């Protein structure tokens, strides 16, 4: 069976995307007002016909899921490229708290949607552990495997407590902060679930 294409994926795509965005923004505004809007409510708020609205969102659940805050950002560090781990973590937490405060109603709605169905029906896009990835980016130790010709690095971010296993990344230069500590010390920290990481943090140096 082929995968169905969303209504806005063909035809006058730019205009359709604007219409879809208007419905989503109307839904977010209604949620912020303390309501649980259906498709018709969003259509009325956005001054769009109900028939048109249902072409984009056939049901209320799809509409409410689409209104989940756009927080699929790979990084919360922004322009903060400090090599001090505590500063990097503080920057991530500050931006994370700002997102939560600004989008609390939508986040509460998303949480409710993720919990009010059985495990086989939950929409996993609502709960992806985003905060964990953001914090890991601020603090994760890893091994530089190779410096590429364009200045980027190939790096292995190991899985605790197994230094030889993990995920391989190609990272821009500004995302990598070499540490001036022995390889064996890094392996020991990872295999001991992070104990002794303070030495690595003190040894951070700027890239290049």
| Per-residue confidence (pLDDT) for residue 109, from 0 to 100 | 82
Instruction: Say how far apart CA 22 and CA 49 lie, in whole Å.
Output: 12
**Six token digits for residue 62:** 């799809």
- The DSSP code sequence of 19-76 is HHHHHHHHHHHHHHTT----HHHHHHHHT--HHHHHHH-SSHHHHHHHTS-----S-S
| Per-residue confidence (pLDDT) for residue 120, from 0 to 100 | 45
Those residues with Cβ within 8 angstroms of residue 79's Cβ, 6 or more apart along the chain or in another chain: none
CATH class of 7-66: mainly alpha
Each residue's pLDDT, cut to its tens digit, for the chain (208 residues) gives: 445 556 666 667 888 889 999 999 999 999 988 888 999 999 999 999 999 999 999 999 889 888 877 655 667 777 656 666 667 777 777 888 888 888 888 888 877 777 765 544 445 555 555 666 676 666 677 788 899 999 899 988 777 667 677 788 888 887 777 777 777 777 777 776 666 666 555 555 444 4
| Per-residue confidence (pLDDT) for residue 208, from 0 to 100 | 47
| Per-residue confidence (pLDDT) for residue 112, from 0 to 100 | 79
Q: Where are the domains of the chain?
A: 7-66, 71-120+129-137, 140-202
| Per-residue confidence (pLDDT) for residue 48, from 0 to 100 | 96
| Per-residue confidence (pLDDT) for residue 157, from 0 to 100 | 79
Neighbouring C-beta atoms of residue 102, cutoff 10 Å: 12
Sheet of strand 153-159, all strands in order from the earlier edge strand to the far edge: 143-147, 153-159, 162-171
């Amino acid at each position: 069976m082929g995968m169905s294409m969303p209504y806005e994926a063909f035809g006058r795509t730019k205009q359709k995307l604007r219409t879809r965005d208007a419905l989503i923004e109307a839904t977010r505004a209604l949620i912020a007002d303390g309501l649980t809007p259906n498709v018709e409510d969003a259509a009325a708020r956005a001054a769009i016909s109900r028939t048109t609205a249902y072409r984009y969102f056939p049901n209320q659940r799809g509409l409410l899921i689409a209104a989940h805050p756009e927080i699929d950002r790979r990084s919360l560090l922004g322009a903060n490229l400090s090599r001090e781990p505590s500063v990097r973590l503080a920057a991530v937490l500050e931006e994370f708290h700002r997102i939560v405060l600004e989008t609390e109603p939508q986040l509460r709605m998303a949480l409710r949607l993720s919990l009010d169905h059985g495990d086989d029906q939950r929409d996993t896009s609502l709960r992806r552990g985003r905060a964990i990835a953001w914090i890991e980016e601020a603090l994760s130790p890893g091994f530089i495997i190779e410096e590429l010709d364009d200045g980027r690095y190939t790096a292995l971010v190991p899985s605790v407590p197994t230094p030889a296993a993990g995920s391989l990344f190609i990272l821009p230069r500004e995302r990598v902060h070499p540490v001036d500590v022995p390889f064996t010390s890094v392996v020991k920290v990872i295999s001991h679930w992070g104990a002794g990481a303070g030495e690595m943090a003190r040894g951070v140096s700027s890239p290049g």
